[in-house]
Each structure stands twice: as C-alpha cells, then as structure tokens.
Amino acid sequence: MYILNGLNYVLSGYGDSIKGHPQSLVVAISAYGRLLRMHREYFDYEEVKGMVDKIVGLLDELGRIKSGLGVIAWAYALAPALEYEDVRGLMEEKRGINVVNKFSEVLEELNKLRERVQELMSDKEFMSYVESGSIKADEEAVKKVILEASSHLKHCLAHYRLKNDELDEAEGLFNEAAGEDREIGDYEDYLISRGQALRVEVIEGSLVGNKLVDGFRQLYEEALNEKHFKHTASYLSNASHKLGEYLVSLALTGGDEGVKKIKELIEEHWWVLYANERSSVLTRLMLNALLGPKDRLDNELKGRLVVKPGELIEAFKDETNSELLPALRLPSSLRTWVGGANLGVD
C-alpha cells in the first residue's frame, strides 16, 4: 500500500512532467505490474481496477511516441493479467484485446527488437531507459533490457500454460526463459525457470532412469557454483529451493542409494536448506511422507526431518487465518489438521 500510494501521488502531482520522460512511464508500468502480480491479495477490487486504469493510461501515453519502449512496457503490463482472472478481465475490457493473443504478439515484437539492437542505440527514449539501469549503455546493455522483458513474459506465460495443463508448451517456455536468463547472467532467475521446467517434466512423465534426478542435481550444483553464488537473501532462498527439489527427487526414486545421498546432502548442506523457512518445512514434510511409510527413516534422519508446530506456523502464518493460529499451536489439533498422517510433525 505504501508503494501504491507513493506511485499514485507522484503520477498525480507530477504527471505532466513525467510524460516528457518515456523511460519513467515504463518504470511506473513495471511497478504497477509487479504490485499486481506479486501482491494481488493485499488489494481490493477497486484498488486493482485503479492500477489497471493507470497501466492502460500510461500505455496510451507511450503509444504516442515511436520507440521500442512501448514493447518493453507491454511485457511488464501483461504479466499480472495472466496470473489473475480479474486483472485479465479488466485489461481486456479497457483495451479491447485478448490477453493471451497479445502475449504472443508482444513476444514476437521482442524477438524483432533483438534484431534491431544497432538501430535501437539511436533511439533516444529507448537509450534513456537503458542508461537508467546500466553503468555502461552499450550493445550488451540493450540486449539485456530486451531479454529481461522477454524472459519475464515467457515465465508468466509458462505458468498460465501450466495451470491450463498445456505441459509441453509450459516446459518449452520455462526452458526458453531459463536460456535467456543465463545469456544475460541472471543466474537467480535462471535457476527458477529451469527448476520449473524440470518440475513440469516430472508431472509429464516419471523419474525412472534417473535422468530427471540428474537434472535436479546439476541445477543444485549450479546454484552452489562459486562463480555465480551470492550471499544474498534472495539467492540463498533460491538455493534452498533447489536443494529441496533435489532431495525430493531422490526420495521419489526410492532405493538405498537415494536415501544414502539424502543423508549426505542434509549433513553437508543443512544450512542451505534452512536458508528459506518455507522451503525447509515443505521439503522435510515431503521427505517424511515419501520415506516414512516405506520405513526408510533411521533415527538420525527422522530426527533431522522433524517439523515443530512453531516452524509450520511461522512458515505459513501470512496465509493462515489468524483465528486458526491458536488451534495450530496444539499438537493434537495439528495432527488432525494434516490428516493424521505420520509426516514428521512433532
């Protein structure tokens, strides 16, 4: 709400002067788009409607100038429209478009921009936007701006395809996004997109033959590669997810070797798993669910995988009705809540 109010204040108080700086309009569109995509649950319908109105108005302003910036802006404007039906409906109503078709159109335009890098370097408005985020506004910086928008759009479209059980299309888009992230050196987003592609493969088929397990292993090893590894909260959180995916893939394959490897990884990289509390809790619950019924847990591993009620509450408190929290603090109620299964909840 603080960011939304600040954006609205700036655009209301300084709108005319901002219109003279197209690069600022793209930044504003991106900010509204990210608020809607990542924090939709905090806003009521009227606030959402207001943000969509702002986005559409800013797109209209950008449409009055001849610049590649318009395509970049559309990439960030469309992202929340695929995520949420109400946003999609409002966008389609305001602009008279089919959002999914518009996604394909914008992706095609972004591909064309990649072929026009030299021409774009003579586009004053486009280069002002590039310069606002780069120390050196050279050819590589221009490519990065285009690929960032393309990867962002493909990732969102992949999620939409996945929700609609279009698995082949989703896998392809996730892999394309991962390739573009890697090309520009954004290894954090690369790990996310590539991990999603592997998850889709698991849904499509099976883990027989260890091909996918090797994929999860390679991705986790890349996450801890000293060349790319960053001691930042977001990167460590991502590495925690990659370790969790690898551990679960090992548990899904079964076998003594898989359990042995799980114990080794937990012993060596326990700190990585705990870098993200939610990932840690979900991974331990899943390992209990997969290995417990098969009696594959010895006392040492069982002790490592115990999830205390406080951990579960802390990990999901933002998504749990506050009225239910007292009940969750009672172990007996907690066991009932998880279905009475032996999932390692203490």
Establish how many alpha carbons lie within 13 A of residue 124's alpha carbon, considering only the half-sphere containing its beta carbon.
5
| b (16+ CB within 10 A) / e for 327-343 | ebeeeeebbeebeeeeb
Mean pLDDT, rounded, for 295-305 = 80
150 residue type, one letter: S
Distance CA 176, CA 95 (A): 28
Distance CA 137, CA 24 (A): 17
Q: 179 CB contacts (<8 Å, ≥6 apart)?
A: none
Domain coordinates in residue numbering, the chain: 1-126, 137-201
Distance CA 260, CA 148 (A): 40
Between 105 and 335, where is the model more confident? 105
pTM of the model: 0.81
CB atoms within 10 A of CB 278: 18
Per-residue model confidence as pLDDT tens digits over 191-224: 999 999 999 988 887 666 678 888 999 999 888 8
Distance CA 292, CA 306 (A): 11
Between 346 and 95, where is the model more confident? 95
Residue 247 — pLDDT band, cuts 50, 70, 90?
Answer: very high
| b (16+ CB within 10 A) / e for 4-38 | beebeeebeeeeeebbeebbbbbbbbbbbbebbbe
Phi/psi at 115 (nearest 5 deg)?
-90, -5
Residue 149, pLDDT above cutoff 90: yes
pLDDT score, position 111: 92
Mean pLDDT, rounded, for 261-268 = 90
